């Protein structure tokens, strides 16, 4: 697939990213469920390790740049969940599908630019294996007024 050595954890280090502890679920669900070689990751949002979240509505009080930052932070949190579930990120064979929700006004139409923060980091960390199918959808609100929420499906190997 790639001619370079596949080492997502070294890539995180190169990017200056230290994975936080995976955020705990905020209701009655688990962070991820493995079915065969697929992991279905529950929706996560832009929460810093200290618990502070990026909140607000795109098209109103949050810029595209801040939304992008939130989506990137969400990717870090999803990678932390994967690390916790797998122990070794080299087991990630492919990021398959991403469903991204953007807390936005009815006239805001730049959801893809916001969610590129998530997608760009997945590709930076996992290379070609991070390229995925995706939907980026605007919604009226998200839990705790989070700016974004992203769930995804990841193929893994033992």
Q: Does 17 have pLDDT greater than 90?
A: yes
Residue 29 DSSP class: S
pLDDT of residue 2: 47
C-alpha span between 122 and 100 (Å, rounded)? 13
pLDDT of residue 1: 47
To the nearest whole percent, how much of the chain has pLDDT over 90? 93
Q: Tokens 């979240």 sit at which residue?
A: 53
pLDDT of residue 152: 98
Q: What is the mean pLDDT of residues 92-109?
A: 98
For the stretch 60-93, pLDDT in tens is 999 999 999 999 999 999 999 999 999 999 999 9
In this prediction the pTM is: 0.95
Q: Does 3 have pLDDT greater than 90?
A: no
* Spans of all domains in the chain: 8-17+33-156
- 3 state DSSP class of 36: coil
pLDDT of residue 23: 85
Q: Which CATH number fits domain 8-17+33-156: 3.40.50.300, 2.60.40.10, 3.30.1330.40, 3.90.1150.10?
A: 3.30.1330.40
pLDDT of residue 87: 96
């Amino acid at each position: 697939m790639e001619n370079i050595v596949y080492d997502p954890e070294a890539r995180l280090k190169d990017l200056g990213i230290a994975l936080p502890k995976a955020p705990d679920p905020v209701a009655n669900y688990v962070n991820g469920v493995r079915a065969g070689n697929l992991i279905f990751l529950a929706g996560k949002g832009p929460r810093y390790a200290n618990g502070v979240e990026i909140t607000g509505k795109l098209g109103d009080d949050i810029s595209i740049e801040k939304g992008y930052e939130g989506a990137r932070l969400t990717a870090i949190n999803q990678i932390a969940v994967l690390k916790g579930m797998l122990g070794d990120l080299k087991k990630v064979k492919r990021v398959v599908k991403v469903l991204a929700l953007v807390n936005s006004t009815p006239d805001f139409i730049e959801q893809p630019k916001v969610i590129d923060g998530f997608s760009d980091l997945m590709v930076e960390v996992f290379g070609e294996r991070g390229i995925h199918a995706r939907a980026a959808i605007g919604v009226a609100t998200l839990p705790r007024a989070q700016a974004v929420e992203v769930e995804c499906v990841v193929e893994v190997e033992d």
